[in-house]
Structure formats: structure tokens, C-alpha cells
Amino acid sequence: MDTSLRERALVKGRPPFRRAVVTGGCGFVGSHLCDLLLDSDVEVLCIDNLLTGTADNVVHRRPDDRFELMVHDVTDPISIPGEVGLVLHLASPASPQDYLRLPVQTLQTGSRGTFNALELAREKRARFVLASTSEVYGDPLQHPQRESYWGNVNPVGPRSVYDEAKRFAEAATTAYRSEHGVDTAIVRIFNTFGPRMRAEDGRAVPTFIRQALAGEPLTVTGDGSQTRSLCYVDDTVRGILAVAAASHPGPVNLGNPAETTVLELAHLVRKLSGSAAPIEFVDRPVDDPGRRRPDITLAWEQFGWKPETDPRKGLSTTIHWFATQLNDIAARER
């Protein structure tokens, strides 16, 4: 699956998108999505309020006249001149550290922000893709999780601001499709990792890498037996655009069906980074999912998509990126 977005769109019988809007485009996944769109010869308008994203993630694209950055909060109405063929809605605090710090903002982005992005797609008659999350499954009672599973979510727990914001966003997207005829799709993104994650964002991969490189204990929550399925960011964004270039409404799971425990992940990061830092067990967060693994049958059958990057290779690349960032910071401070 190394064909470009343009070629995939033609294969699927849809014209290629000339211009796309990416909300949350300065975030971790959003910035990689901007890269892939531009590399597929699609003009990109990146919208971000820079609350949790950073313009540093797209600074390498600023000289490209096909790229534009618009600093704007999607909870306010979005007005854009010109043609738009695709709206990719990724705006939202995504890490536990962020959405627990910004609970109301998270809910507003998932509700008002989603309505504004949908209105833009409706106005422009554009394809709309919502970046939802595996968190809509909560602490799942079904394993692996299929798109037909309704989930096991605590609506008043500490994680509910993110879980319910995304579940509402999915409902809004479905309503715009049924009532207004907007060409919508929903992708449910499972644990994704790679360069441009924030070292302090609280998720397992960047936390373990930061701790390992600093020689600090790797803090494993609980006994570390809870599982995650890690997908490298290049594969995730390739899957998002495969769905965008088709006409399927979703929801579609995007993730790696290879499952690993959090403790195994900590040991692997320590090994790949060459760190001798010890493992330290800490309290497990409330409502932390016990098992997380996607069923990606739909993604494979409909779009020919599956992850292609070996997690070990992806982790090595990510560790190298973090190490380079830390070295650059240290050099500037000297």
C-alpha cells in the first residue's frame, strides 16, 4: 500500500482532493497528517489554537505555498474562503494530562467544535472525517474491540470528559450525515506513537522514553499487566487518508492488533534506549482500560489497510527523535 492518496482516490472512483482543512493540525497526529497530504499534492489549511499543539510541528512546512496555518479555536465559527474538498477534524486535547487539565475545553471542542467543523464541510460540500478514539469503548468487555461494540464507559469518571466528548462527536457526525446529507466518516484511532509526541503528555510511550533517556525510574501503573496495541503514526495517518479517499461512513478502527502489556513496553523501551533505569510501580489511574486491541477486519477488507511498521522499529525511531530533541535543548542552554 505505497500508492499516493491521489492514486488511491482514483482507484476508489473519487476525484482527488485539491485542498484539505485539518483542525488540530499542529498536534502530534495532525501534523503528520498535514505532511502526508502535502506529499500527496493536496493543499492544506491547518487550523489550531496552539493550546496543546505547537507550531514547531509544522514549521518545516511554512515555506511551502500550498500550506497555510490559521491560529483559531474551533469552538468559534470557522470561515474560510475558497474551495475545500476535505475536512479532517482532529482538534481536541488527547492525552490524559491535557484533558484532565482542560475538562470543559475538551467537552466544548468535542461538541461545539465538531458542529463548527461539520458546518464548514456542509457549506463547502466537502468530505468530512472525524478522528474519534478507541476510548469510546471505555474499559471494554469485548476483546478485541469491533466497531459494532457499544463500549463500557463511565459517564461521570475522570476520563469521561474525553470519552463522552468523542462519543458526542460521533453522534453529531452521524446526525449531519442523516439529516443534512454531509459526506461523513468516523475513524476510531487506537494507541498511536511516534516523533512529535510531547515528552510530558502523560501517555505511556513518551513517558517511558523520557524517563529512560533521563535515567529515571520507568513508572509502570498498577502491576503493568494491562495491555495496549501500539500503532506507529505513519500507519495511522495513512489509514485516515485511505478512509478519507473512500465513501465509507465508518466507524473504522485504525490501530495495531498486536497486543503488549504496559510492563513489556517499559522493558522494551529501556532495552532499545540502552538505559539501566529501574522499573517503579505506581498507582493505576481510575478507569484505566484493562485491555485494548482493535479488530481491523473492516479497515483491511474495505481499504486494504493494515499497519506496516514493526513496533520495535517505530519505537527505535521515536527514541532517536526524543534523544535528538533533548540534545538540541541542552545545546541551546549551554
Alpha helices in the chain (DSSP H): 5-11, 28-39, 96-101, 103-108, 114-124, 160-180, 204-214, 233-244, 262-273, 297-303, 311-333
Q: At 203, give phi and psi (nearest 5°).
A: -80, 160
Handedness of CA 131, 145, 137, 218 (dihedral sign): negative
Gap between the Cα atoms of 245 and 13, Å rounded: 9
176 is catalytic: no
Question: For residue 69, what is its C-alpha cell?
Answer: 496555518
Gap between the Cα atoms of 32 and 30, Å rounded: 5
Compute and round to an integer the Cα radius of gyration of the chain. 19
Query: Which residues have CB under 8 Å from 203's CB, separation 6+?
Result: 95, 96, 191, 193, 197
In 49-89 the beta strands, taken as DSSP E runs, fall at 67-71, 86-89
Question: For residue 125, what is its C-alpha cell?
Answer: 460540500
Contacts within 8 Å (CB) and 24+ apart, 2-6:
4/39, 4/40, 4/41, 5/36, 5/37, 5/40, 5/42, 5/241, 5/244, 5/245, 6/40, 6/41, 6/42
Active-site entry in 99, 137, 162, 176:
162
The residues that are catalytic are 162
